[in-house]
Chain A
Amino acid sequence: MTSKRGTLDLLSERAIEALIRLCGISAILFVFGIFFFVFREGAPFLRHLDLGEFLFSKSWIPTSQTVPKYGVGALIVGSLSVTAVAMAIAVPFGLGAAVFISEFCGRKTKETLKIVIELLAAIPSVVWGFVGLSVMSPLLINTFHTPIGVNMLNGALLLALMSVPIMVSIGEDALKAVPDSFREAAIALGATRWQMVYRVLLPASKNGLLAAVLLGVGRAIGETMAVLMATGHSVRIPTSIFDPVRTLTATIAAELGETSKGSDHYQVLFLIGVLLFTITFIVNLTADLVVKGIRKQ
């Protein structure tokens, strides 16, 4: 039965299938690879690292000749605070825009808005950083009469604009997943569309919206160039939103080029990378589980 050609076909089919399977698991390999290689460069320093001091000490003086200090407490606070302010701005606007796109506008407007959001998402982060530096900074100085324009608020505004697109698109998906019968039932009962959104849609899609917010958080924490250029880059625990701060990501970007391979400073920067990887991994995992939660319902 099996002619020569048939065997050959079978063999090539097998070979291609193997290749496809290999590519299929590549994502897993890369996730482990990223953790492994980043950890590998930073690992030697773990021997003389006091984890408590590393995470909670707020003195980051890596270039000191006598006693360098590697405490990332202030950097963690910087990352978290700028992300928190960014989310306080982005969440209402992002979810509001998602509601508008999904419930209140016609097809034409919807398509246009989606294209605008795609363009907003496409603007490179270094351009945002440059905008923060050259446009927003003077604007903030003039509006709020702060001494420094590159500060937490500046970075947070940029991060808000950068994380809004993902929130809108995931949030809109979540709203779209609510069955039309819910909407019809609400309107048949005499609810206005505002009541329908507030009382029916938001509760029904809250998991999806939460996932949207989490993905926005993940993006904001991991953002590098914009915060490097726009937050002022000074190590301190901020007391107001007009204080300059420094984030984990910006520290790596700014300092890695000046360290020599294998030095303590170099290894600590890779450990900060491990920390960042862990934080975003947890945030993304949570978002994914939340989304899975909706599918089960």
Chain B
Amino acid sequence: MTSRASHLAVATFAGTPFVRRKERNEMVAKCFFGMMAAAMIVPLILIVGYIVVQGWPLLSWEFLTTNPRGGGVRGGVWSALIGTLYLVGFSLLISAPIGVLAAVYLNEYARDNWFTRVVNLAVVNLAGVPSIVHGLFGLGAFVYFANLNEGKKSIIAAALTLAVMTLPVIIASTKEALSSVPVSFREACWNVGATRWQTIWRIVLPNSISGILTGVILQVSRTAGETAPVMLTGVTTWKMIESTGWLLYHPVKDQCMALSMHLYYIATQASGAPKALPFAIATVLVGAVVLVNATAIIFRIYLRSRKKW
């Protein structure tokens, strides 16, 4: 549509003062809006670059795989890294199936009536609830009411909180993936006598699994960075784990450390930390998030290129 518009704009009788002025206006407008867009990119690059440069001296394999020492100001980020993995893993284990099934309901079963509108409205509003309110909810519901760990914070309470938080986004991305499967696929399947669920299981889900997975992968990065909800429900500033072993944290009984909380703690409360330390932690966090996001983006581009319809 943009290219069509520009064809129209470049008239064949170029050269008159009027057309030249018009073209100049065009350029000015384009530069103006381009600068608006650049205003988002430049800070992103500057900030990420600055963080990485400042944190670089501390970064090494040892930094990732050794426990913090001396109140967190020496050593690495091992416990925090594993804690974040636990939180992300458990929360997605809970939210992905529920989210996908909810999207299946909204896209395949729900009729266009007031009830469906209410459900959609609830999804939108759930996505808009501030993260700290999710934290309060997790504390009230999972830590105190469900009493998962005798009224104390636990990994599972934090994971459940994060699951509720990521649910609406997974529903939205899955719904989009499902609706990109052509209706004719479903009709063909119904016509050979398949039931609704058979159609979904054999036709709709296999054809949209890539889109669904991309949405879920993007949630990994979102979940990994969350701080406010988990610090009320399961994350603590100091909890060491063994560097080897099968189950590093006990998900129900333990609280864990997390990269995001560790960064907050080191940046604001720990005294005597070397200047590069918080930058190094931030680099690990941003690096992990960008890596996961890049995977999702590459995955999406690859799958779009081999889409058959």
Interface residues of A (CB under 8 A from B): 9, 13, 16-17, 19-21, 23-28, 30-31, 33-34, 37-38, 40-41, 92-93, 96-97, 99-106, 113, 115-120, 122-127, 129-131, 133-135, 161, 164, 168, 180, 183-184, 187-188, 192-194, 196-197, 215, 218-219, 221-225, 229, 249, 252-253, 256-257, 261, 269-270, 273, 276-277, 280-281, 283-285, 287-288
B252 at the interface (CB under 8 A from A): no
A122 touches B293 (CB 8 A): yes
B285 touches A124 (CB 8 A): yes
Interface residues of B (CB under 8 A from A): 1-5, 8-9, 22, 25-26, 28-30, 32-37, 39-41, 43-44, 47-48, 50-51, 97-99, 101-102, 104-106, 109-110, 118-119, 121-137, 139-141, 144-145, 151, 164, 167-168, 171, 195-198, 218, 221-222, 224-228, 231-232, 260-261, 263-264, 267-268, 278-279, 282, 285-286, 289-290, 293, 297
Q: List 10 additional contacts besides A33-B164, A122-B221, A269-B136; criterion CB under 8 Å.
A: A13-B195, A13-B198, A17-B196, A27-B126, A31-B126, A38-B133, A118-B297, A125-B228, A215-B128, A224-B132
B110 touches A24 (CB 8 A): yes
Instruction: Sort A-B residue pairs by CB-CB distance and give the 10 closest, nearest first.
Output: A124-B225, A222-B130, A24-B105, A96-B36, A194-B29, A100-B33, A23-B101, A37-B140, A284-B128, A224-B228
B144 CB to closest chain A CB (Å) equals 7
A95, closest chain B residue (CB) = B36
Mostly, the A contact residues are helix
Contact for B232 among A104, A225, A256, CB less than 8 A:
A256
Q: Name 14 interchain pairs, CB-CB below 8 A, sorted by A.
A: A21-B105, A23-B102, A30-B126, A38-B133, A40-B140, A96-B32, A117-B40, A126-B227, A180-B1, A193-B29, A219-B128, A252-B135, A253-B231, A276-B133
Distance of A193 Cα from B1 Cα, bound (Å): 13
Most chain A CB inside 10 Å of its own CB: which residue of B48, B122, B297: B122
B108, closest chain A residue (CB) = A20
Distance of A19 Cα from B101 Cα, bound (Å): 8
A93: chain B residues within 8 A (beta carbon): 36, 39-40
B101 touches A24 (CB 8 A): yes
B133: chain A residues within 8 A (beta carbon): 34, 38, 222, 273, 276-277, 280
B114 CB to closest chain A CB (Å) equals 13
Known contacts A23-B101, A222-B132; is-contact A187 B137 (Cβ 8 Å):
no
Contact for A20 among B35, B104, B122, B135, CB less than 8 A:
B104
B136 touches A38 (CB 8 A): yes
